[in-house]
Chains A and B, each alone.
Chain A
C-alpha cells in the first residue's frame, strides 16, 4: 500500500502547451495498492493533467520519442526509466525536444 505522495511535475520545451500552458504542477498522488512508479505516473498524468492530444505526449505506456524525462535533475535512463519507484517530494521534469514542442 503506497501512501499518498506529493510531487513537483514540470513540463518544458513546448510540452506545456498540452497542459493549458502551465509549466509547474504541484500534484498529490492518491493511495493505491501497488507502489507508484513512472509507468503509473504517466497513466495518472494522462487521466488527470493532460488537456488535449494525448498521442502527442504518450505513446503506448511510455512518453513519445523526443520527450526527455528528468527525475530530480538526472536522466531517467540512469534511474531505471519506467520502473523508477517514486519518492515523496520527487521532482519529475518532461522536456520536449521536438520541433514546435
Chain B
C-alpha cells in the first residue's frame, strides 16, 4: 500500500496526461482487472476497472477488513449507527447487515440505528418532513434492527452532561481484544450447551417491537399539547439558526448540535460505540475545511477512524476508505434505498460557505488529478494526537462545544526560542 501511495504522489502532476491517454485508448479496460473475465462497470482508480460481482466483493470485504484491522468493535458490544438517509450512511447500514448475517461468526448482532431529522432548519415544510420521515421509517423497519428517531428539536432538552467528558468505564471491556473475543466465544458455547436461548432472529424481532413502542412518533403528535410543544421547539430552532449570520457558522452549529444529539442517544440507550458514515471524499473536504476554520489541532479527532473525545462513547468511521463515487455506484447497482433530504447548502452559491468553496476545490482538482482525494485523505491519516509536554497525566482542558483538547496554551515554537548556549 505504501508503494502505491508513493507512486500516486510522484505521478501526481502528470495524472492529467495519463487520464488523456486512457481516454484515447479505452481498450485497456475491456476486462475486469480482478477476475479478468467479466466486462467492467466502473473505474475505481485510474486504470482499475471492476466488474459488478468483483466490485461487490471488494466493497463488502473492505468493510469487514476495516473493522477487523482496527479491532474497533468488541464481540457482543452494542453499536449505534448514525443514519441520515444519505448515500454513505445507507450504504453503511447495508454493510452492517452483510456482516450481521446469521452465518457469520463475528457479527454485529447488537447493532441499532439512530436516525436524525433536521429538516426544520434546512427549509423543509412540515409536510415534506413527514414524507421524509415516512421514507426513513420504511427503511429502518425493513432493516429489522431496533431504532430510535431523533429530531434536532430535542437539543433544547439535552442535559448539560453532554458538554462533559465522561471517563471510560473501567469495568467495560478494557482488557485486550483477544481476551474479549475468547470470553465471547466461551460465553456462546455455554449458551449453546445450557438453557435453550431464543434464535437470533426472534430476539431481533422482539427488540424491534420494543423499540417501535418507544418511538414518540405520530401517536404522540396527535395530542394537541404535544403538537404545540413541537411547534414551539421548531420555531425556537429556526430562530436559533436565523440568528447565525453566515452559512459557514450555520454548518458548524448544525454539526455540533447533531453530534450532541447522537451522543445523547448513545448515552441514554447505553451504547459505547457509534458508527458514522463519512466517506473519504467527505473526510478530505472536512480536513481542508477544518484547517481553514482554525481547527487544525483537532484534525486527528475530527477525521480519524476512531474518536474518543467523549470518553465513554467512541465514534468510529468505518466508511472512511470508500470514495463518494464507490458508494454512489454501490447504492445504484445493488439497490440500496436512500432518502434525499436537502442540506443547509442545497442550491447555494458556490462561494456561500467555506465548506462549499473547499468542496468545489477538492472535486475540481479530483476531476483533473484523480489521486487528489486519496492524497489528502492519506495525509490526514498520518496525523495523530501527541499528549501535551507539560503534564501528560493531567486531564487536558477541553473545548466546551466539541470536547477536543484546547490548543490555546502551547507556548512558543522551537524556532522562536533562543538557541541554547
State the A residues within 8 Å of B (CB). 12-14, 16-18, 52-53, 55-56, 65-66, 68, 70, 73-75, 77-81, 93, 95, 97-101
Contacts and interface: CB of A to CB of B under 8 A. Distances in A.
Contacts of B285: 99
Contacts of B333: 73
A78 B332 contact: no
B148 interface: no
A9 B327 CA distance: 21
16 contacts: A13-B87, A13-B328, A16-B340, A17-B347, A65-B366, A68-B325, A73-B333, A74-B42, A77-B23, A77-B43, A93-B332, A98-B359, A98-B363, A99-B343, A99-B345, A100-B342
Given A99-B343, A100-B348, A101-B342, A12 B332 contact: yes
Given A17-B346, A99-B359, A100-B342, A78 B366 contact: no
A97 B327 CA distance: 9
Nearest to B327: A97
Contacts of A101: 340, 342-343, 346-347
B324 A97 contact: yes
A99 B342 contact: no
A80 B19 CA distance: 12
Q: How large is the interface on B (under 10, 10 to 19, 20 to 34, 35 or more residues)?
A: 35 or more
A95 B328 contact: yes
Contacts of B346: 14, 17, 100-101
A95 B332 CA distance: 9
B325 A79 contact: no
A78 B345 contact: no
A71 B342 CA distance: 26
Contacts, number: 86
A78 B41 CA distance: 7
A99 B355 contact: yes
User: Which 5 pairs from chain A and chain B are nearest by CB?
Assistant: A100-B343, A97-B324, A75-B42, A100-B346, A65-B367
A69 to B, nearest CB: 11
B146 interface: no
A26 to B, nearest CB: 19
Given A65-B363, A65-B366, A73-B333, A100 B344 contact: yes
Interface string B30-57: 0000000000111100000100000000
A73 B367 contact: no
A78 B347 contact: no
A97 B325 contact: yes
B117 interface: no
A73 B332 contact: yes
B329 A80 contact: no
A78 B29 contact: yes
A16 B339 CA distance: 13
A97 B367 contact: no
A14 B342 contact: yes
B247 to A, nearest CB: 11
A48 B336 CA distance: 30
Nearest to B42: A75
A81 B363 contact: no
A23 to B, nearest CB: 9
B387 to A, nearest CB: 34
B290 interface: no
A75 B26 CA distance: 12
Contacts of A17: 342, 346-347
Interface in B292-343: 324-325, 327-329, 332-333, 340, 342-343
Contacts of A14: 340, 342, 346
Given A99-B356, A100-B342, 11 more contacts: A17-B342, A56-B347, A65-B364, A65-B366, A68-B328, A68-B329, A70-B332, A78-B41, A81-B23, A97-B324, A99-B355
A77 B332 CA distance: 16
A56 B327 CA distance: 21
A69 B35 CA distance: 24
Interface in B270-306: 281-282, 285
A78 B22 CA distance: 9
A101 B342 CA distance: 7
B83 to A, nearest CB: 16
Contacts of A18: 347
